[in-house]
Amino acid sequence: MNHFEYKNGELFCEDLAVSDIAKEVGTPFYLYSKATLTRHFQAFDSGFEGIDHITCFAVKSCSNIAILSLFGGLGGGADIVSGGELFRALQAGIDPGKIIYSGVGKTESELRYGLQSNILFFNVESEQELHRLNTVAADMGVKAPVSFRVNPDVDPKTHAYISTGLAKNKFGIPIHEALDLYLQAEAMEHIEVKGVSCHIGSQLTLISPFVETLRKLKAFVGRLAENEITIQYIDLGGGVGITYDDEEPPHPKEYASAIKEELDGLSATLILEPGRVIVGNAGILVTEVQYTKSNRGGAEEKHFVVVDAGMNDLTRPSLYGAYHRIEPVKEDVDLVQVADVVGPICETGDFLGKDIRLPHVEQGDLLAVFSAGAYGFTMASNYNSRPRVAEVMVSGDQFRIIRERESMESLIQGESIPEFVEK
């Protein structure tokens, strides 16, 4: 359930009409509901009540510090994949003791930054990374807390671009090779083995791949125990899906109880790294219709609605062919047409929706692109020299701009013309 609802034919975010916010902020902009963010975080987190766990929000899905700060206040930690995300999490006041550092390509300075910040542990993804971490930790005179991201070779049954737990994916260490690495790590002076981790993919709509993964992890933890290696943390990653269209993902409560049941008998703290399931349906992108046009060619007539947001603002449709529901902010009972909702960018792939059923819309009308809270703003770019849009958060009958719309000046910030380039 979320707090984006139509009242008397008009879209509201909590107690505010979206069109009123647009009047003050301009378009396009991302709009988040604090009540929805809170509700989704708590629905997920409370499912694991009664067992030792930390919900480490996946920062890459939505990284505004206002949102990170909200989750930190609700007891959440952070799953990060870069030094930049570590900076954000710390700026937002997230407890470093609840920060997990994932990712295949951590640089030496990023490892150092993580160690300096006293994060909970690193999810190490290769033998070379383990050696580099040991060297950096030795140099700093500390012990690096480590968990290995193992690849359980489980099919998450999701989109190929967002499945990560198959042998053919670049992530993690094949589970049958991991024991050797644990033994190496145990012998290293500046490494402290903490846990075992995995993340099999994103937008999963079934529980069974998670359960299958957990079974493999449990068996592996048993093998570690036989080798006198004890584990304090089991990190199950993220990946629970959401409804964009007609998907029927498990309710977070069902997911949690399946995991809890499977965990039975294991005395380790559970780490969860949810992203999309918490923020996906807690944010929308609001955009204004600039032009409508029809191209007649052959037998077919194609309708286009050209809006002021493009693939640089919300890239999922072009990148993955992802579906986002698009509706007018003011509901109209008028004639329904089938149209492509396209942006202003000079690429054929620049669309927010293809063959979408829309009521008749006109220049100046506002459209809401739903389910845009996850991998929306965080994947935005300045392509076509478009300033990135504003981010806004609503709480009850108030709203705040939590990231200003970028200016023209910001587009060329840091650029300079060298003296050897003649004007």
Ligand X SMILES: *Cc1c(COP(=O)(O)O)cnc(C)c1O
Binding mask 85-124 for ligand X (x = CB under 6 A): -----------------x----------------------
CB of 124 to ligand X, least distance (A): 12
The reply, when asked if residue 276 is annotated as ligand binding, is yes
217 binds ligand X (CB under 6 A): no
Query: By three-state DSSP, how is residue 151 classified?
Result: strand
Size of the site for ligand X (CB under 6 A): 16
CB of 32 to ligand X, least distance (A): 16
**Choices 13-21, 32-40, 272-280, 397-405; region in contact with ligand X by CB under 6 A:** 272-280
CB of 188 to ligand X, least distance (A): 23
For 8, residues 6+ apart whose C-beta sits below 8 A from its C-beta are: none
239 binds ligand X (CB under 6 A): yes
Task: For the beta carbon of residue 151, count every other beta carbon within 10 angstroms.
Answer: 26
CB of 181 to ligand X, least distance (A): 18
CA 146/CA 43 separation, integer angstroms: 29
Is residue 239 within 8 A of residue 199, CB to CB? The reply is: yes
CA 35/CA 281 separation, integer angstroms: 12
CA 117/CA 115 separation, integer angstroms: 5
**Choices 18-26, 55-63, 82-90, 129-137; region in contact with ligand X by CB under 6 A:** 55-63
Among 61, 64, 147, 281, binds ligand X (CB under 6 A): 61
Among 145, 195, 237, 373, binds ligand X (CB under 6 A): 237
CB of 15 to ligand X, least distance (A): 29
CA 114/CA 26 separation, integer angstroms: 39
The Cβ-side half-sphere exposure at 13, using a 13 Å CA radius, reads: 29
The reply, when asked if residue 347 is annotated as ligand binding, is yes
Alpha-helical (H) ranges within 47-142 are 65-73, 83-91, 108-116, 127-140
CA 259/CA 237 separation, integer angstroms: 12
Among 199, 316, 324, 386, binds ligand X (CB under 6 A): 199
The reply, when asked if residue 274 is annotated as ligand binding, is yes
Cα angle: 260, vertex 196, 251; to 5 degrees: 30
Is residue 98 within 8 A of residue 77, CB to CB? The reply is: yes
The answer to whether 13 is a known catalytic residue is no
Indicate the residue among 199 and 316 with the shorter CB distance to ligand X.
Answer: 199
Binding mask 137-176 for ligand X (x = CB under 6 A): ----------------------------------------
Q: Residues 98-121, buried b or exposed e (16+ Cβ, 10 A)? A: bbbbbbeebeeebbbbbbebebbb
- Per DSSP, 330 falls in state B
Joined together, the tokens standing for residue 212 give: 């299958």
Indicate the residue among 60 and 190 with the shorter CB distance to ligand X.
Answer: 60
Among 47, 274, 328, 343, binds ligand X (CB under 6 A): 274
Indicate the residue among 238 and 353 with the shorter CB distance to ligand X.
Answer: 238
Q: Among residues 13, 56, 198, 346, which one is catalytic?
A: 346
Indicate the residue among 167 and 411 with the shorter CB distance to ligand X.
Answer: 167
Indicate the residue among 134 and 202 with the shorter CB distance to ligand X.
Answer: 202
**Choices 57-65, 113-121, 258-266, 285-293; region in contact with ligand X by CB under 6 A:** 57-65
CA 74/CA 385 separation, integer angstroms: 37
Catalytic (active-site) positions: 346
Q: Which residues sit at the interface with ligand X, rule CB under 6 A?
A: 58, 60-61, 79, 102, 199, 202, 237-239, 273-277, 374
